[in-house]
Structure 1
């Protein structure tokens, strides 16, 4: 549309300003970035600290696996070795004064108290006592539990692994 007014023809189109850029960032963006970096750094620090504090657990689990792979030791010897590893873990976590003197039912009560949500298998005390019997006992003596020594080792190592993974301080 043509206008006859010469003044209107001299007008120019509206010029928009340049769009606002991202840089420099507003103060609130700096706070948000700092918060995100702090949260990520804190999570990484927590993860690394947790791994450092649980080295003894990973080491004990590897030792139990190594014991189970040994074919030259008897089943009762495996139970006593796993018990020794459990005792070392308990000494590491709770101190020598509260754990070193424990044995038999007191030892099992301690294990139950420090990981109360992990149910103890039946006949655990009898399984533990198998470790201190001769490997080839006379067949005239009655077996106090109705488990084979292989089953007893499996039950003991399963409970030991669960306790190592889940005991709390």
Structure 2
């Protein structure tokens, strides 16, 4: 007897074509759009923060330059300190640029974590730039170095973003400045 050669005629297995990576599924397109929007938003936030830091560092540098050039009179230096602080406030608190006297000092104290300008330093900012020269300037207004240090400290710690402070209250001049 002869062995039967009963082999089945089976065709080889054909695998499907590989799945293509292109075009991506709609979920990948959505993820790409979200990532691009987040990158653009992060860029604009970074640019705004960089401008804020640049303005702060410019004002701090101006105060440092003022400290190294004390050949001016104390009243002139007080006026320049006021000018530098108002230059900084111009971008963040435009309503404060027009303030002067005690209202200006109150505004500075309201926008600082702790009130910095008290007694002689407050009097120096409020009155000295507008007062005539005095022989007893340092006894009446205090040391200019102390005022410069307070101005630098205010610039470093000033509350400028709305997350910390909320809406800015309107600053009204005090009774003392209204009488003047």
TM-score by length of 2: 0.61
Which consecutive segments of 4 or more residues in structure 1 shift more than 6 A? Answer: 133-136
In the alignment of these two chains, the number of paired residues is: 156
Cα offset, 1:64, TM superposition: 2.1
1:71 CA drift (Å):
4.8
Looking at structure 2, the residues matched to 161 and 75 of structure 1 have their Cα atoms a distance apart, in angstroms, of 23
Distance in structure 1 (CA, Å) of the matches to 2:17 and 2:108: 71
Q: Of residues 160, 175, 178 in structure 2, which corresponds to 1:167? A: 160
Higher RCO (CA-CA < 8 Å; seq separation 6+): 1
* TM-score, length of structure 1 as denominator length: 0.64
2:109 paired with 1:112:
yes
Q: C-alpha displacement at 1:43, in angstroms? A: 2.1
In structure 2, do the counterparts of structure 1 residues 87 and 125 end up closer, same or farther at CA, with 3 Å as the change threshold?
farther
TM-aligned CA deviation for residue 126 of structure 1: 0.9
Structure 2 counterpart of 1:7? 7
Does residue 127 of structure 1 match 2:121?
Answer: yes
Distance 2:138 2:88 in 1: 33
Which digits, 9 at most, give the CA deviation of each residue in 1:96-122, with x for residues without a partner? 6x642421x322112233x15x2123x
- CA deviations on 1:65-93 (whole Å, 9 max, x unpaired) are 32233253466643431122113333454
Q: Which residue of 1 aligns with 2:177?
A: none
What is the aligned-residue RMSD (CA, Å)? 3.8
Which residue matches 2:146? 151
Contact kept, 8 Å, 2:63 with 2:84, in 1: the verdict is yes
Consecutive unaligned residues in structure 2, runs of 5 or more: 162-167, 169-180
